[in-house]
Structure 1
Amino acid sequence: MANDSFEIETSDNPLAAVRRAHQASLELAQTLSSERSQALRRMAEALSDYSSDILEANTLDLEASRDMAVPDLLLDWLKLTPERVQGAVNILKCLSDLPDPIRRVINAPFQVEEAQTYCQLMPLGAIALVYEAFPELGAIAAGMCLKTGNSLVLKGSTEASHSNIAIANVLQEALADSQLPDHCLELLPSDTGTSVRELVNQDRYLSLIIPHGRESLVQPIIEKATVPVLRSAIGNCYLYWSPSGSLDLVRSIINDSHQSDPDPVNAIEKVLIHPEQRPSSLLSLWNGLRDKGFTIRGDEALIEEFPDLELELAQPEEWRQAYLTKTIAFKKVESLQEGMLWINQHSSGHADCLVTESYHESCQFSLGVKSASVYINVSPRFARLPKPNHTVYLGMSNRGGYYRGFINLEALTRIKHVIQGHD
C-alpha cells in the first residue's frame, strides 16, 4: 500500500456513514462466530503486513502536530511505534481466539409457567468511538466490536488524521475479503467540525458512544448526547497510605501505575496520608519519586511542615482534575473515613487504592469507596491485554449507570430475555 493511497471513502454527509453502519449491524448480528473470528485474523495480518505504511502516515501526523505546537501529552499519545502496532496486532489475534460471547446463555432471573425462560448476550448494534490521538485504539475497538457482532463508527482527532485513515484503510481492505457485511467499519472525516455534535444525537442509529481522551473531549459529549455514553476515564486515581502501610509498597505501586503505555489510565496522581505517617518515610518517598522524574505537590499542611523542600502548592481545583503527567499531589487527612469521603468527592471514580496491613481497613475501604474498582496493596496498572489469550480491555469506565469498571467484550453486549413455550 503506497503512501498516496491513504484516502478513505467518506460521504459529504458524515451521518450517511452512521446509517450505513446501523444497517450493517443488523446483518452483522446474524453472522457466525467463525466468520467473525476469521475476519479478525485477516485484520491482524493486514495490520502487521502494512505496519511500515501506517508508521509513515503517523510520521506525517507527528510532523504536522509539532508544527502546530500540539502539547507534548498529545504527541506521546499520538506517536506510534512498531511495538504499539504489534500490540494492536496481538490483541486482534487474541480476540479471534477468545470464546464468542454472543448468544451465550445465562440464567434468567425469573421463570414463566409452562415455558422455558433464559437470557442470551446479544450485540448492541452500531457503536461510535470518539477518541483523541491513540491511533491504534481504532483498530482495538474495531476488533472488540466485530467480536461482539457490533458495527463501529470511528471519529478520531485531527492530529491523528493520516494515521487513522491508514489504519482504517488497512482494516477495511481486510474486511472486504471476509464474509462480513459491508460498512461494518466506518471512519468519519476528522476535519468535519460539526460531526461530533451531530454524531452524539443519532440515537436512531447508534446504540452507544464511547469517548476516550481528556476531560475536555469527554464531558461535552456526556452533556450533549442523546445516545447512551460509556465514558472511558483516564487518571486522577487516589491512594490512601495507612500508617501501617509499607513505604516500599507505596513507592512500587505509584511507579508501576504510571507504566501504562501510551495512556496513564489508572495512574495514581493523588496520595492521602495520615498525620501519624513518619516524616522520614515521606522524605524517602518524595526523593525517590523525584529521582524517577516526578513532580511533587502538596497541600498547605505539608508545605508548612516541610518548608525547606519547596513543595508546589496543589490548588483546590487540582484535587478533582487529572494531571495526565508524572505529577503526584499529597494531602493529609485525619482518618481512613475522612480519606474515603475525600476520594468519593474528588477522585475520577474508576480506580482507587489502599496500602495497609489492616484487614479491617481493607474491608472498610472496599465497602466505603464508591469507585468502579478498588485496589488493596496492589498496583492498579492498566493493560489492554493483561495476559495472552486471557481477555481484552478497551478502557476503564467510571460511569455511574448501567456499566462500570473494565470495558471488556461483555460491556459491548446486551441481555435478551427469551421465553419459549412448550409445544
Structure 2
Amino acid sequence: MASTPPLESSDPITAALQRAHQASLELELLKGSERHLGIEAIATALEANISVILEANTKDLEASREMAVPKLILDWLKLTPERLQKTVRLLRQLPKLPDPLQRVKNATYQISGYQTYSQRMPLGVICLIHEALPELGAIAAGLCLKTANSLVIRGCGDASHTNHLIAEIMQTALADQGLPAGCLESLSSEEGCTVQQLVAQDRYLNLIIPYGRPNMIQQVVQHATTPVLRTTVGNCYLYLAPSGDLELASWVIQDSHNYEPDAVNAIEKVLVCPEQKTSHLISLFKSLQEQDFELRGDASLVEEFPEHLAPIGTEEEWQQAYLEKIVAFKRVPDLAAAITEINCNSGGHADCIVTESYHESRQFSMGLDSALIYINASPCFSRHPLGSDSVFLGVSNQKGNRRGLIGLESFTTIKQVVQGDSTL
C-alpha cells in the first residue's frame, strides 16, 4: 500500500519542495519513454513561444540597464532566437541518448555465493540556483527528466520576467503530458525565497547546483546544508612550453573564449618560460590584440614588453576570473613551476599545455590537479559539443565522483544490489 503524502505546508516555499519531493518518487516509477515525452513537450513549447520569451527578456534587459547591472550579466541575460533554438536542439538530443538508469555494472566488491552489482538511480530533488542565463533552467529540466529527478529552479532577480515565463511554459507542457505535478518547481526572490533559506532545506533537496559568478557560488556553499555541486567559469591557465607552437597557442586562447554566452573554459592566464624567443612572444601578443584582447603581465614581462602588456592590478588576480577578453601573462622558470602555479591559482576545472614533447605532456597531466586537462587542444566549452551526442550543464572543479563535465551521470548516484539464488 502506498504511503500517504504529507499534508502540504502553508509556507509556499516548503510546499513547493514537498511537491518536488513527492514528484521525484513518482518520476522514478515512470518509463524512460514517458519521461522523454516530457522533454519533447518542453522543447516544442519553448520553440512555439520564442517571440513571447524574447519580449519578456527585453523587459528584464531594460530594467537591468536602468539598475546599472554589469555588462557580463547583461550578456548572460540577453537571449536571442539563436540561443533559444540551440536550447531546443539540445533538449531534443536528450531522448536519443541511452537511459543512464538502465546502466548496470559489476560492483567493486563481490560476496562469495552471491551476485553483486551496481545500478544507477536518480538523486531525487535537484535545485538549480542560477545567475542570469535564463535558458539554463530548461537545460537542467531536460537533464532532470532524463534521469527521473525533480527540479527546483531559483533564478536571480535580473531575469525575473524571463525566468517566470520559461518556467510557466515548461510546467504547462509537462502537465499536458500527465507528468507528476511538482516535477518542476520555480521559486524567486519576489516570493520571499532567499538563497540562504532555500539551500538549508536538506529535508527535501538532494543536490544543489549553483551557477554564476564566484561570490554567488560561495554564498551557496557557505549556507548549504545539502550537498553542493560547485560550477566554475573562467580563470583557466595555459602553459606554453619551449617546444610549443605559437600559432597553436594563439588559436587555443582565442577559441577558448568563443562559446556564448558563458565562456566556461576561457583561458585567462598564460605561463611562459624564459626560453621563449622575444620575437615569438611579440607575435603572440599581436595576434591576440588584433582580436581585441586586453593583455596584462607580471612585472618582468611588462618591463620587457611595455607596448603590449599592462601591469596586473594585484597578485590576487592570478586566482580570479576576469570573465572578459583579458589574458594575463606570467614568466615561470620551468614546467614544474608552471604546474605548481596552476595548482595554486587556476579555477581547477580546465587547464592546458601547448608542447611538442610527450614527456612534458605526461608530466603536466600527471602533476596537475585540474578536472580537465587539454594537451595541444582547445578547452572551449559547449553544452552540446560538435560531433558528440553528449549534453552538459557546466563544469565542476570540486573533487569527487561528479567532478569535471556536468552531464547525465552527475544527476545520478549508485545503489549496490546483492542477489542470492534462494538457497540456504
Classify the TM-score, shorter chain. Answer: over 0.9
Instruction: Provide the C-alpha distance between the structure 2 equivalents of 1:309 and 1:389, rounded to a whole number of angstroms.
Output: 38
Q: CA deviation at 1:401?
A: 2.9
Contact 2:75–2:261 (CA under 8 A) maintained in structure 1: yes
One-letter amino acid matched to 1:224: H
Aligned counterpart, 1:82: 81
Corresponding residue of 1:190: 189
Q: Does 1:54 align with 2:53?
A: yes
How far residue 310 of structure 1 moved from its aligned partner, in angstroms, is 5.5
Whole-angstrom distance in 1 between the partners of 2:11 and 2:58: 27
Per the alignment, do residues 170 and 286 of structure 1 end up closer, same or farther by CA in structure 2, a change over 3 Å counting? Answer: same
Closer, same or farther in 2 for the Cα pair 1:192/1:274, shift >3 Å? farther
Q: Distance in 2 between matches of 1:59 and 1:181?
A: 32
- Can you list the C-alpha shifts for 1:20-68, whole angstroms capped at 9, x where unaligned? 1111111111110010111111111111011111111101100110111
Does the 8 A contact of 2:229 with 2:398 survive in 1? yes
TM-score, with length taken from structure 1: 0.95
**Does the residue aligned with 2:210 lie in a helix, a strand or coil?**
strand
Shift of 1:194: 5.1
For 1:255, what is the secondary structure of its paired residue? helix
> Is the CA contact (8 Å cut-off) linking 2:285 and 2:308 kept in structure 1?
no
Q: Is the Cα contact below 8 Å between 2:396 and 2:403 reproduced in 1?
A: yes
Q: Report the 3-state secondary structure (helix = DSSP H, G, I; strand = E; otherwise coil) of the residue aligned with 1:187.
A: strand
Give 1:129's aligned residue: 128
Residue identity opposite 1:323 in structure 2: Y
SS of 2:12's equivalent in the other structure is: coil
**How does 1:147-158 map onto structure 2 within 5 Å?**
147-158=146-157
Give distance in 2, aligned partners of 1:199 and 1:24.
18
Using the TM superposition, give the Cα deviation of residue 389 of structure 1 relative to its aligned residue in structure 2, in angstroms.
Answer: 6.5
Alpha carbon RMSD of aligned pairs, Å?
Answer: 1.4
Q: Tell me if 1:168 matches 2:167.
A: yes
Structure 2, unmatched stretches of 5+, are 1-8
Aligned residue identity for 2:318:
W
The separation in 2 between residues aligned to 1:216 and 1:289, in whole angstroms, is: 29
2:69, 2:324 → 1: CA distance? 15
Residues 40 and 389 of structure 1: CA distance in aligned 2, closer, same or farther (over 3 Å): farther
The one-character-per-residue Cα deviations of 1:130-186 (angstroms, maximum 9, x if unpaired) are 000000000000000110000000000100011111111111111001132111000
Secondary structure of the 2:317 match is helix
SS for the counterpart of 2:254 is helix
> Which letter does structure 2 place at the counterpart of 1:394?
L
Mapping of residues 58-73 of structure 1, within 5 Å: 58-73=57-72
Q: Over residues 239-283 of structure 1, what are the superposed CA-to-partner deviations in whole Å (9 max), with x where a residue is unaligned?
A: 000010001000000000000111010000000000111111111
Query: What is the distance in 1 between the residues matched to 2:62 and 2:409?
Result: 38
Is the 8 Å Cα contact of residues 384 and 395 (structure 1) preserved in structure 2?
Answer: yes
The match for 2:39 is 40
* Maintained 8 Å contact 2:236/2:267: yes
- How many Å separate the matches in 2 of 1:180 and 1:140? 18
Paired residues of 1:98 and 1:389 also in contact (CA < 8 A): no
**Cα deviations across residues 375-405 of structure 1 (Å, max 9, x unaligned)?**
0000000000013660100000001233210
Q: Give per-residue Cα distances to partners, 1:183-205, cap 9 Å, x unaligned.
A: 10000023356521011111111
Which amino acid in 2 is paired with 1:26?
L
Alignment check: 8 A CA contact 2:299 2:311 kept: no
Tell me how far apart the structure 1 counterparts of residues 196 and 47 of structure 2 sit (CA, whole Å).
34
Higher mean C-alpha deviation, range 397-406 or range 73-82: 397-406
For structure 1, the 5+ residue unaligned runs are 1-9
Q: Which residue of 2 aligns with 1:336?
A: 335
Relative distance call for 1:70 and 1:341 in structure 2 (3 A) is same
What does residue 18 of structure 2 align with? Answer: 19
Amino acid at match of 1:250: A
Which position in structure 1 is the counterpart of 2:238? 239
Superposed CA deviations along residues 86-125 of structure 1, whole A, max 9, x for unmatched, are 0110111000211111132111112223322111000000
Name the residue aligned to 1:248.
Answer: 247
Deviates more, 1:277-286 or 1:185-194: 185-194
Distance 1:139 1:356 in 2: 40
The one-letter code matched in structure 1 to 2:233 is I
Q: How many residues align?
A: 414
**Cα pair 1:61 1:161 within 8 Å, conserved:** yes
TM-score (norm 2): 0.95
